[in-house]
Structure 1
Amino acid sequence: MSQQSEAPGAPGLEARWTSSRKSGIGKALNSASDVTFTLSHGILNEVYYPREDIACIRDMGFIVTDGHNSFSEEKKDTEHLTKTIKDGVPAYRVMNTDPFGKFQITKEIIVDPFRNTVLQHVVFEQKDPNLPLQLFALLAPHLNNEGGNNTGWVGEYKGSEMLFAQNGDIALAMSCSTKWLKRSIGYVGTSDGWTDIKQHGKLEWEFEQATKGNIALTGEIDLAEQEFVLAISFGRTHLEAANHARASILDGFDTAKRRYIEEWQTWQKTLPKLAAKNFKFSASILRMHEAKNFPGGIIASLSIPWGETKGDTDKSGYHVVWPRDLVESAGGFNALETKEDVSRIVNYLMSTQNADGSWPQNMWLQGEPNWLGLQMDQIALPIIEILKGYLRNTMGKHRMTRYWPLAKKAITFLLVNGPYTEQDRWEEESGFSPFTMATEIAALLAGAELAKINGEEDLATYCRETADSWNDTIEYRTYVTGTPLAKKHNVEGYYIRINPFAEIPASELGNRTINLINHHADQGKTKISELVSVDALALVRFGLRAPDDPRILNTLKVIDAELKVDTPKGSCWYRYNNDGYGEQENGDPYDGTGIGRAWPLLSGERGHYEIAAGNIDNANKLLKAMDSFANNGLLPEQIWDKADIPEKGLYFGSHTGSAMPLSWAHAEYIKLCISIDHKKVFDMPEQTQERYIQKKKKAVYQVWRFDNGVEILPKEKILRIETFEKCAVHWTDNDWKDQHIAESKENGAGIFTTDIKANKKSAKIEFTFHWKETDKWEGRNFSVNIAR
């Protein structure tokens, strides 16, 4: 058929992303290349350029036909085997075999270290030489994180035939070392190569361009040479991309492969020598998730969970930065003792901090917020990391001088807004969470050390006093006793996932319920007192409670009874009961509702508890379970927890369609390896261990605030009233027979404190406020009962 200029059928089907079930990711360490690729189902899928948070293609694979009735799509119709070429190095050999024995496609896939090019060295083996097989390369551009606004065309660069696409200021070029027999551009589902070949058994349409739509580039490859190199290159213009493609092919695949592998092996020689199966590769995974052009910025995952169901309205997926996940990744680099990596992460955190001292829930690499929620652990964890960086000599005094004003802002934000959190670490519920409170308290003690280092002793003292007060309220806020669930498991009580009420202690929650998100209607309705989470283990991990504390042991019994799943590959845990973030019961993708599945990183967290408790053998079993949960070395966010559903790619103990790989999971794996090697939890904060486990420090003060009003004051404590304006507190401890006036004092963090010590025989303190700046009375009284 003769060539036609513009493909019909614009704009094509609504664009969709692709599977997050990755079997490989690759990236050159050399700073000359800004390309990162992922593999799934035996083919190249999402490629990121010029930053790790910008996806540029949906996928690229081959189609094989006999020109008539036989149609084989590489990603769907062949059997895949993907392996790394060298141990721990993200260079891959992929073998895709036709189940009917007609052909085999063997590919080696790397990034050109010197250029923005993904290179595939391809060997096409035709088993029966008499078959008239034809081979087609099919590429779906999704440039600039967008599938529906791409323009493609057939062209050439200095005599080299290529296929091009562009969207905004990003372009790609696909070139082949052998001859293109035919080329065509079309709209997906109407005039693209897949539709054409499926209908005609060959590439009959040859359209020269398709404008602003969901498009595909298709080229038929001359099989006169059954070994060839395919280059997919990127640039700011199509000419820049074309130059990279042509130069990469001329430079030779072997040259690029040798340099690519050598650079990775040189870096890996700096790592600790441990025998753990996926230790070296997990280190590589962390390194590949760090942005080259935003040093220290580590995205959560080079994937979009359940991406095949997501379109242009979901541009970010998981390829943005979560400050919490970033600090977890920093912990992985701390375990690797790669100080320069940790230094970059801390500097990135400082550069992306908001003006008020907080960090975004998640953000694009330049620091622009993506989601707008607030989890207090995303404020607390960076403070802990700043102190670790200083104590481990990843920053000197001059750098600390530059960081301190920013660190102080974070500490102040934490003091003002904690311990209540708008969202827990799972970004879902508001309230008092054991995990969040553990990080906040550890952060306040870290903040006290930072304040002391920087000569602010008053602030240091206030941070410690507040940490003590918050620590003493953990059980008041989150430990329940005598519930039906406690009786069911024959324990006195347990820590709950979250308490959403500032004014109601855990012991008085009764039958109050919470309607968990990710559920239809009221299917998420759950008794708060029976909402159990693995998060209570953070109280041990962060050094606030001993591993043999009876309350921890009670909670462990409930966790294992309610949240543990034993798979053929090892033990794993759910985040909490009645979780709705995961596949549907029948295995269909999560669509805003679903059923929560087990998380491998929680096996790592449990492994750290076992180490704290002295059970190294148990920790080793959990490390091996994490090895088994990995897909070709990549750890998933979740694993399937039921009987196999082969037609949906779900197998008991193996990855689901959620994010894979998850950088946080790989960091947890690395930390577990090092903790096992050290026979102790290597990253447990020293300040909390010493203060709360060794010295068993109790609070002197009980804090009362308008947003966090305690109702009971232990008789041995001083009532500390905190306000954000200067005031005089008028109070009595004998029903206003005597009235006292106490002036508030500013503590250096924008908080005014008023300390009240009642008579030992008093049963209640009543108080009200006179606001100094406005010369107004509060107009109501408040009271706190004194516990006997």
Structure 2
Amino acid sequence: MSGGPASQPAYEGPPARPAPGTPGVDPTWSSSDKDFVTSSLGPARVWATIGHGVVNEVYWPSTGTPQLRDLSFYLVGDSSQGGPQGWVDLKRQRQYTLDTPAPALPLLTVQHSGELDGVPYALELELLPDPLRDTLLIRYDLTGPYRLAVIAAPHLGGTGRDNRAWTERGQTLLAQHGSHALCLAADARLRRASAGVVGVSDGWQDLAQHGRLTWDYTEAGPGNVALSTELTEAKGVLALAFAESPTGAQTLARSSLAAGMDVLRERFLQDWQAWADDLSVTSDEPEFARLAHISAAVLRMHEDRTYPGGLVASLSVPWGNSTDSLGGYHLVWPRDAVLSAFAQITCGELEDARRVLDRLIATQEWDGHWAQNEYPSGEPYWNGLQLDQTALPVLLAAKLQELGQPEPCGLQGSMRRALAFLARTGPTSEQDRWEENPGVNPFTVAVSIAALIAGSPWLSGDERGYALALAADWNERLEHWCYVEGTPLAEQHGVDGYYIRLAPPQEDGVRQGEVLLRNRWGQTIEAAALVSLDFTYLARLGLRDVHDPRIQNTLTVVDQVLRRTTPSGEWLYYRYNSDGYGEQEDGSPYDENGVGRLWPLLTGERGQLAQLAGEDVTPFLRTMLNCASPGGLLPEQVWDGKAIPERGLYPGKATGSATPLSWSHAEFLKLLVASQTGAPPERLQSVTEYLSTHPAARAWHWRNETPVNELDPGHSLRIEAEQPFTLRYVWDGQAERHEVAARSGVFGIWSVSFSASELSGKQRLSFTRCFGDDWQDREHTVTLHTPEQKAVTRI
């Protein structure tokens, strides 16, 4: 049985009956509007998600690889017992409730109820991932004159294409694609087991055409296939198992059934209860406490078993019901993983956070940065450079050190490489935290400054001094890059100025004032008119006081431009104005262009500023709570328009983007804990102490993307590049030219320095550079201010 149908041993019974229709309709994943996720804490490697009351994706052997589109349940009227004619598709009826033994114990029971032609039904489903085997067990209990039918849609190997499906002796359902196989078996006899081609000969087509299951095709594919069967008993257990071969999958399924639900349920609950006993997060508000425990469990369930610390962003494929792409959110983003690890720290789950750091050390790129995202194994998926994803691991390491955790092997070398990358390439980033635009972003610069300070103890003397000097420079110049004044938007909202989302990078000192809106059909917007909540980390990390007029001015603007009220609450925000990452106006799926929707995690970020200002954060927590699914899952985005029931879109509830999102759950946890401790979890003692005592920046660092156009008095000037160069310069437009070769410094940075005393008394420095034999055509000028003057021009 190691192969597909062609290699199966012969047995007595009906001859093979291939299903017609290969390869079938184009496959898609299921909706990413999930209700619940579950996984065991044993050695088994199965993660299941539940949406619309049915199993709608199963991941194996890693959180990075979905293997099943859905496992759906249907009720067929049993006329022999007085049942109605026809059938019920439970995931379309959506009349169900969810229940667990406790918020942090993800043993789910789904109760479906309703009626067909006045004849009531009730179906109870209990979902139990076997802690020891790669099997999902499903206990079913049907009440009413109906028979239970099941349809499974394999997407083995992460795709719905080229799958093969077959039945064995009419009692076992099997599928295979390469080295991935599944088996669906039961503890009772099956009736009408069939393998079909989706859209032509699958079980749903059979029900639609005949009102019951009639087909008994023995094999289907390769293509987009499905398996269907009807259960002979009203009560029993199903086993869905995964292995490298059909034989292995069948062995696991039968072994789990033999072990029994009661024994495995006890082991499952014991493991989760032992983990939950360490949770330290609570609340006087029962609903908040419940969501906090659910959130902590969700973060734990998003960690890979084979690659501990591989905490994926979401067990979902955004707008999955419109694509077969494997590029979902079941990937590890260093940013999401670290921000989730900080939430784990707040819950007392320090070992969980340490595993995240251990894996980061293992997956760091040779030059010090981390990939944009990667599979749990560490294999990169996208390769964009995002500076915050290099800075955040440093903050996590520093936080764990402050908490007295043992230092991982190789940590100092890893941190040095990360800090060297930050120092060489910052403060600009190829992509911002929304993975869309290059430039200087307040969030990215904030975490980079904090990382340079918090990580400096891992550096040598010269390196440490340079890192701290660079942090002081960026901190002092941040407003020159990212704060604007006197704009139409400022006048409209009655403020002097505000922080913008990002300052575009400069090319040879020439400002690029337009920002491309990546998901808006090629539209652009003036950088000075683009705002976001990215600035909140300036206060969250302690770089700016929350009462700083610049922070308060920006809050005034974003609360009016980005904030919206929905039935879930009045504190929901867009990522930025004119965002395009979301459904179309009519609610149809995002297709590389769209309209941005509201993000609950930003409610948490806004709530952190309210907490720092001494305000009550209950409205922010409650808004996030109200956005949750019936099972307590927090989404990436919620709908901001009128209800579109036929698309499952309701104001203040999850869109098709991604549910759950680990980052959303992390922000809820951190805001809840911050409301009790008085400080954001990401804030570090070392950063706070340094900022309270350090002197002003002594030097400003001229770089091509962030040149110094005007220099305040008392500062020295360092003209820097990542490769050797010769500098030719003149003072105050004089005829005499000077040349000097750049010197190699720490982190591979080459520079020419002018001390404050050399600059004193001069008005202007003009220069050009030669790299190799190539003299640049452009001349750069730095205006040198006297003590009576002040630099006011911003990038």
- How far off is 1:754 after superposition? 2.2
Look up the match of 2:207.
197
SS in 1 for 2:381: strand
- Matched residue SS, 1:14: coil
Alpha-carbon offset, residue 492 of structure 1: 0.4
* Corresponding residue number in structure 1 for 2:588: 588
**Are residues 1:292 and 2:302 paired?**
no
Match of 1:5 in 2: 17
Match in the other structure for 2:618: 620
Distance apart, 1:739 and its partner CA: 5.5
Determine if contact 1:231/1:248 at 8 Å carries over to the other structure: yes
Name the residue aligned to 1:573. 573
Alignment of 1:239 onto 2:247: yes
Q: Deviations over 1:40-80 (max 9, x none)?
A: 01101100001111101000112222379512112113512
Q: Given the superposition, is the C-alpha separation of residues 166 and 759 from structure 1 closer, same or farther in structure 2, using an over 3 Å criterion?
A: closer
Alpha-carbon spacing, 1:697–1:620, altered in 2? closer, same or farther (3 Å): farther
Deviations 1:511-534 (A, max 9, x none): x4333011135xx33222111111
> Take 2:701 and 2:759, find their aligned partners in 1: how far apart are those partners?
18
Residue equivalent to 1:520: 521
Q: Pairwise CA RMSD of aligned residues?
A: 2.2
Q: 1:662: which partner in 2?
A: 661
- List per-residue Cα deviations over 1:456-487 (Å, max 9, x = no partner): 01100000111111112211111111111111
8 Å Cα contact 1:492-1:554 kept in structure 2: yes
Query: Offset of 1:502 from its aligned partner?
Result: 2.3
Q: Which residue pairs with 1:717 in the alignment?
A: 715
Match of 2:39 in 1: 27
Distance 1:734 1:86, change over 3 A: closer
Letter in 2 for 1:756: F
Q: Is residue 343–residue 395 contact of structure 1 (8 Å, CA) maintained in 2?
A: no
| Residue among 115, 121, 125 paired with 2:143 | 125
The residue aligned with 1:48 is 59
Counterparts of 1:105-124 in structure 2, within 5 Å, are 105-124=123-142
Alignment correspondent of 2:483 = 479
Give the TM-score normalised by structure 2. Answer: 0.92
Residues of 1 paired with 2:323 and 2:776: CA distance? 52
Are the equivalent residues in 2 in contact too, given 1:9–1:190 (CA < 8 A)?
yes
Match of 1:403 among 400, 406, 411: 411
Secondary structure in 2 matching 1:473: helix
Q: Which residue of 1 aligns with 2:559?
A: 560
Q: State whether residues 437 and 516 of structure 2, in contact with CA within 8 Å, keep that contact through their aligned partners in structure 1.
A: no
> CA separation in 1, counterparts of 2:505 and 2:363?
32
* Matched-pair contact (CA < 8 Å) for 2:192–2:215: no
Q: How does 1:487-526 map to 2 (within 5 A)?
A: 487-502=491-506, 512-521=513-522, 524-526=523-525
Q: Does the 8 Å contact 2:148/2:234 carry over to 1?
A: no
Contact 1:85 1:93 in 2 (8 A): no
Shift of residue 670, structure 1, vs aligned partner: 1.4
- Bigger drift between 666-675 and 1-10 goes to 1-10
Say whether the 8 Å CA contact 1:301–1:662 is kept in structure 2: yes
Unaligned runs of 5+ in 1: none
CA contact (8 A) 1:346 1:389 kept: no
Q: What aligned pairs does 1:613-692 form with structure 2 within 5 A after superposition?
A: 613-615=613-615, 617=616, 619-631=617-629, 632-692=631-691
* Structure 1 equivalent of residue 7 of structure 2: none
Select 1:86's aligned residue among 102, 112, 118. 102
| Segment drifting more, 679-688 vs 325-334 | 679-688
Shift of 1:781: 4.6
- In structure 2, the partner of 1:272 is 280
CA contact (8 A) 1:480 1:494 kept: yes
Give the conservation status (yes or no) of the 8 Å contact 2:171–2:193. Answer: no
Q: CA deviation at 1:728?
A: 5.2
The answer (yes or no) to whether the contact 1:458–1:747 under 8 Å persists in 2 is: no
Residue of structure 1 in register with 2:10 after alignment: none
Distance 1:527 1:505, change over 3 A: farther
Structure 1 residues 770 and 215, CA, compared in 2 at 3 Å: closer, same or farther? closer
Kept in 2: contact 1:478–1:505 (CA 8 A): no
Measure, in 1, the Cα distance between the counterparts of 2:572 and 2:71. 34
Output the CA distance in 2 between the equivalents of 1:480 and 1:503.
Answer: 20
1:337 partner letter: G
Q: Is contact 2:436-2:518 (8 Å) kept?
A: yes
Q: CA deviation at 1:624?
A: 2.0
CA distance, structure 1, for counterparts of residue 775 and residue 235 of structure 2 = 85
Aligned match for 1:465, one of 456, 464, 469: 469
Q: CA separation in 1, counterparts of 2:206 and 2:51?
A: 24
- Change over 3 Å in CA distance of 1:669–1:11 after alignment to 2: same
Closer, same or farther in 2 for the Cα pair 1:653/1:761, shift >3 Å? same
Letter in 2 for 1:529: A
User: Which stretches in structure 2 are left out of the alignment for 5+ residues?
Assistant: 1-12, 79-83, 284-288, 790-795
Q: 1:252 to 1:721 in 2, by over 3 A?
A: same
Q: Is the 8 A contact 2:428 2:505 kept in 1?
A: no
**How much does 1:741 deviate?**
5.7
Q: Following the alignment from structure 1 to structure 2, what is the Cα–Cα distance between the partners of residues 92 and 775? A: 69
Shift of 1:560: 0.3
Deviations 1:660-685 (A, max 9, x none): 11011111111112211212223213
Deviation at 1:503, TM superposition (A): 6.2
Helix, strand or coil for the counterpart of 2:351?
helix
Which range moves more in the overlay, 718-727 or 351-360?
Answer: 718-727
The question of 1:77 aligning with 2:78 is answered: no
The CA deviation at 1:768 is: 4.2
Residue 387, structure 1, aligned to residue 387, structure 2: no
Query: Residue deviations 1:110-139, cap 9 Å, x none?
Result: 10111111111100111xx4xxx3321110
Taking the aligned partners of 1:541 and 1:153, their CA distance within structure 2 comes to: 56
Aligned residue identity for 1:140:
A
Residues in 2 aligned to 1:63 and 1:38: alpha-carbon distance in whole angstroms? 18
Corresponding position of 1:168: 178
Separation of aligned partners in 1, 2:415 and 2:229: 55
Contact kept, 8 Å, 2:583 with 2:594, in 1: the verdict is: yes
Distance 1:281 1:778 in 2: 58
Find the aligned partners of 2:740 and 2:685 in 1 and give their Cα distance: 37
Q: Distance in 1 between matches of 2:482 and 2:192?
A: 67
Of the three residues 258, 261, 272, the one matched with 1:253 is 261
Q: For 1:163-217, what per-residue CA distance to the aligned partner results, in whole angstroms no more than 9, with x for missing partners? A: 1011111111101111112211010011112112221223222111113110000
Q: Is 1:154–2:167 an aligned residue pair?
A: yes
Separation of aligned partners in 1, 2:154 and 2:778: 64
- Contact kept in structure 1, 2:509 and 2:706, CA below 8 Å: no
In the alignment, structure 1 residue 38 sits paired with structure 2 residue 42: no
Distance (whole Å) between structure 2 residues aligned to residue 278 and residue 487 of structure 1? 41
* Whole-Å separation in 2 of the counterparts to 1:699 and 1:560: 33
- Offset of 1:152 from its aligned partner? 0.9
Q: Mean Cα displacement is larger for which, 586-595 or 278-287?
A: 586-595
Report the Cα distance in structure 1 between the residues aligned to 2:440 and 2:376, rounded to whole angstroms: 30
Paired residue secondary structure (2:66): coil
Displacement of 1:737 in angstroms is: 5.7
In the alignment, which of 443, 468, 472 is matched to residue 435 of structure 1? 443
**AA of the residue aligned to 1:535:** D
In 2, the alpha carbon distance for the partners of 1:590 and 1:502 equals 31
Distance 2:450 2:303 in 1: 26
Q: Note if contact 1:26-1:90 (Cα within 8 Å) is conserved in structure 2.
A: yes
Q: Structure 1 residue 574: deviation in Å?
A: 1.0
Q: Distance in 2 between matches of 1:475 and 1:695?
A: 20
TM-score, length-normalised on structure 1?
0.92
Q: Take 1:781 and 1:497, find their aligned partners in 2: how far apart are those partners?
A: 29
Q: How far did 1:379 drift?
A: 1.1
Q: Does 1:178 align with 2:185?
A: no
Kept in 2: contact 1:701–1:718 (CA 8 A): yes
Q: Tell me: CA distance 1:738–1:598, structure 2 relative to 1, closer, same or farther (3 Å).
A: same
- Cα deviation for residue 568 of structure 1 reads 2.5
Give the counterpart letter for 2:35 in structure 1.
S
Paired with 2:774 and 2:229, the residues of 1 have a C-alpha distance of 78
* Aligned equivalent of 2:355: 344
